[in-house]
Amino acid sequence: MKTTTTLYRFQIELSDVQRSVYDTLDFRVAQHPSETPAYMLTRIIAFALNSGANLSFSPSGLSDPDSPAMSSPDDMGGVKLWIEIGNPSARKLHKAAKAAKSVRVYTYKNAENLLSEILREKVFRASEIEIFSLSDKFLSEVTLSLERDNRWGLLFNDGVITIQVGDRSYCGELSRHL
């Protein structure tokens, strides 16, 4: 039996106090059959926390392992921001660091494993790659409220993400790893 892609709509009232960004985001995300809810929610949160400056999801989605999960172009046609989700390989991060001015990884997995692989494999500009993690517990809680049409309030302040869905509120820390 063939599984299909599921399309989700997100309308997010974003209050990103860290960046002084207050915006309404309205977009659709296709969940690939092999994509876990934790991966997809990490993509959504990363997109919201980096919104603006022509940020877009990779047009090929998960089917192209060499493309970023999302990126933002610079004024010269290059890549200003390259964002990865999960635990990308050191090889991919090496390529990303050479191609983009800034590289960020948002993971829901063990960030220490990723950090040790980056150091072991001698990734280009490894010290400049920003790595953030979300807790599995937080993502599991948000997953329970996931619907095909989602209306969220997302507040980001002092490293804490609060997602308001109807009368429910979910809080989780966005940890930064150096």
| Phi, psi dihedrals of residue 167, rounded to the nearest 5° | -95, 10
Asked if 163 contacts 154 with a C-beta cutoff of 8 angstroms, the reply is yes
> For the segment 52-80, what is each residue's pLDDT rounded down to a tens digit?
879 999 887 677 788 999 999 999 989 99
Asked if 47 contacts 85 with a C-beta cutoff of 8 angstroms, the reply is no
Spatial distance between the Cα atoms of 19 and 24, rounded to a whole number of angstroms? 15
Half-sphere exposure of 32 (CA within 13 A, CB side): 12
Spatial distance between the Cα atoms of 74 and 47, rounded to a whole number of angstroms? 17
Residue given tokens 């047009």 in the structure block:
59
> For the segment 79-111, what is each residue's pLDDT rounded down to a tens digit?
999 999 999 999 999 999 999 999 999 999 999
Residue given tokens 């996931």 in the structure block:
146
Return the DSSP state at 93. H
Predicted pLDDT at 60: 75
Mean pLDDT of all residues belonging to the chain: 94
> For the segment 4-51, what is each residue's pLDDT rounded down to a tens digit?
889 999 999 999 999 999 999 999 999 988 899 999 999 999 999 999
Spatial distance between the Cα atoms of 41 and 146, rounded to a whole number of angstroms? 9
* 134 or 53, greater pLDDT: 134
Task: Identify the sign of the CA torsion 119, 125, 128, 133.
Answer: negative
| The model's pTM | 0.94
Spatial distance between the Cα atoms of 53 and 75, rounded to a whole number of angstroms? 10
